[in-house]
Amino acid sequence: RRSVRPPTLYLMAYQQKTHPTDVPPEEFLDAAPTERRRTEGHALLDLFRAATGAPAVMWGPTMVGFGEYSYVYDSGHGGTYFRLGFSPRKAAISLYGLQGFPRSDELLAKLGPRRTGAGCVYVTNLAKVDTGVLRELVEHAWAHETTTC
């Protein structure tokens, strides 16, 4: 005898897991795991605000985002997400939305020590990267419309 899922499971709507919250980003950054991450987080908050001109909003419990865009996948589900952002995590700072634009690779090559992943740039120590290049990278990404999540 074969088990079959009830049809209602196939019809359930996709629920986006990460949403904007009412938590002030400064409150989140003040609670970062180390003094260095707190300092770096506040420095990034200032840099992203200056480069984008947008207000900072907490997305979920750990990501500071700027701007937002809507997306729809081929499957039909979609949602809204922040355009650019960061999270001062314990192991590394995660920078979101900075890749995939005309000069992204060129600017990333000048940034300093970092790793890249699918959609993220990871920096272990903000003092070791060129923050002027980082600001230029943020401005460059902000100037281009985000079309994918």
**What are 72-123's pLDDT values in tens digits?**
888 888 888 999 999 999 999 999 999 999 999 999 999 999 999 988 999 9
146 CB-near residues (< 8 Å, 6+ apart): 69, 83, 97
SS3 of residue 65 by DSSP? strand
Report yes or no: 112 and 128 within 8 Å, Cβ to Cβ. yes
Q: 47, 53 in Cβ contact below 8 A? A: no
pTM of the entire predicted model: 0.85
Residue 16 pLDDT grade (very low, low, confident, very high; cuts 50, 70, 90): low
Residue with tokens 């985000």: 146
pLDDT at residue 2, rounded to an integer: 46
- Is it the case that residue 146 has pLDDT exceeding 70? no
> Which amino acid belongs to residue 116?
T
Q: CB of 107 within 8 A of CB of 99? A: no
